[in-house]
Copies of this chain bind each other. A is one copy, B any other.
Amino acid sequence: MNNTNLGKKLVIQLDGSSGVPFYRQIIQQIEQAILAKRLLPGDKLPTIRSLAIELKINPNTIAKAYNELEIRGIVVTQVGSGTYVSDQEIDMAENERQEKIEQSVVRFLREMEALGVKRSDIPKLIEAFKEET
């Protein structure tokens, strides 16, 4: 698992054991940082070369992720300048948001059940992580 700390605004961790392609993990984590307002419009993302070094992966893999983010309008890039969070907000339909919430909760509860965690213990677990994420 690789780790990069960029002024605490964006922390990308690649999970080699999840089976999810690296470029998709990068896309997802940047998206989540923007949605959570940890990255704001106009913020500059790390350059392709520097992120590649930090994550110890190939620059083309970063470029692939950035390219897809740009196609979707989430970031804008400028040769010679860099890549920035777009002014355009990520517009997620409310029904899509609700569906993703539901999917995430269901997956989480299944994981907890598989790990033998009682439903009644879950609020305490979450409370314990209050300041840590």
Q: B-contacting residues of A (Cβ < 8 Å)? A: 18-21, 24, 31-33, 35-36, 97, 100-102, 104-106, 108-117, 119, 122-123, 125-126, 129-130, 132-133
Contacts and interface: CB of A to CB of B under 8 A. Distances in A.
B115 A35 contact: yes
Indicate how many identical chains form the complex.
2
Contact of A115 (B19, B33, B101, B114): B101
Contacts of A105: 108, 125-126, 129
Nearest to A133: B109
A125 to B, nearest CB: 6
List 7 A-B pairs, minimum CB-CB distance, nearest first: A32-B114, A35-B114, A108-B108, A19-B20, A36-B113, A104-B111, A19-B24
